[in-house]
Chain A
Amino acid sequence: SAVISQKPSRDICQRGTSLTIQCQVDSQVTMMFWYRQQPGQSLTLIATANQGSEATYESGFVIDKFPISRPNLTFSTLTVSNMSPEDSSIYLCSVDGPYTGELFFGEGSRLTVL
């Protein structure tokens, strides 16, 4: 199984600021996925990040708000821009496992926006 490290694990941010979350995987992976988990809710896919190409965003998420970088096969970042209290969530990085639909997850980054 892949080991996924996320930084920061939690942060408290001020409204209007931006924060970048880092995701490091201990092996090379083709696709990395970013999910959002709002308080008490399920996971929603933000975008899929392939190395060397633009991230693919799901409906309701835009690049200006959630820019993603994928500089190599083991690393990705997600930036939450111009934050508002509605952005308070856990943001999870994940990668494909060996079987169809299986995902390995990082521990998540809990953001609180004041």
Chain B
Amino acid sequence: AQTVTQSQPEMSVQEAETVTLSCTYDTSESDYYLFWYKQPPSRQMILVIRQEAYKQQNATENRFSVNFQKAAKSFSLKISDSQLGDAAMYFCAYTGNAGNMLTFGGGTRLMVKP
């Protein structure tokens, strides 16, 4: 079974600084998808960024980028120029090629200090 591990229960960052959230996963599949989801205090989860395992290039979405290390099964999220609105729970998630079930990590609570 696939597992997703987020080793940082909480992180904090100063506004305008950069922070990296860690995620590792375990799978025997070669084709899969990885995601970072954000859950603000209002609770609605939204997708931040996604990465297809077959792509070597790291995904980027504005201030959000990932460092995908397939051999190491590592998928970290970098947030640049952190803003107060980035404060939320961040969940790393995995799905196999069939895409029929997401496995979530335990989450990292990000606090942004003004």
Of B12-20, B44-52, B63-71, the one contacting chain A is: B44-52
B32 nearest in chain A by CB position: A101
A71-106: which residues lie under 8 A (CB-CB) from chain B?
Answer: 90, 92, 94, 97, 99-103, 105-106
Q: Tell me, yes or no, whether A41 is within 8 Å of chain B by CB.
A: yes
Chain A CB count within 10 A is highest, among B42, B50, B93, B102, for B102
Instruction: State in angstroms the CA–CA spacing of A92 and B100 once bound together.
Output: 17
A43 near B91 with CB under 8 A, answer yes
B35 near A108 with CB under 8 A, answer no
Interface residues of A (CB under 8 A from B): 41-45, 48, 90, 92, 94, 97, 99-103, 105-108, 110
> Chain A's nearest CB lies how many Å from the CB of B92?
10
Interface residues of B (CB under 8 A from A): 33, 35, 42-47, 50, 91, 93, 95, 97, 99-102, 104-107
Instruction: State in angstroms the CA–CA spacing of A108 and B106 once bound together.
Output: 18
A42 near B43 with CB under 8 A, answer no
Complex interface: chain B residues within 8 A of A108 (CB): 43-44
Closest 4 interchain pairs by CB?
Answer: A100-B99, A101-B95, A105-B45, A101-B33
Instruction: State in angstroms the CA–CA spacing of A22 and B99 once bound together.
Output: 25
Q: A101-B35, A101-B102 are in contact. Are A106 and B95 (CB under 8 A)?
A: no
A to B CB contacts below 8 Å, 23 in the list: A41-B106, A42-B91, A42-B104, A42-B106, A42-B107, A43-B91, A44-B104, A45-B102, A48-B100, A94-B45, A99-B50, A100-B33, A100-B97, A100-B99, A101-B93, A101-B95, A101-B99, A101-B102, A102-B47, A105-B45, A105-B46, A108-B44, A110-B43
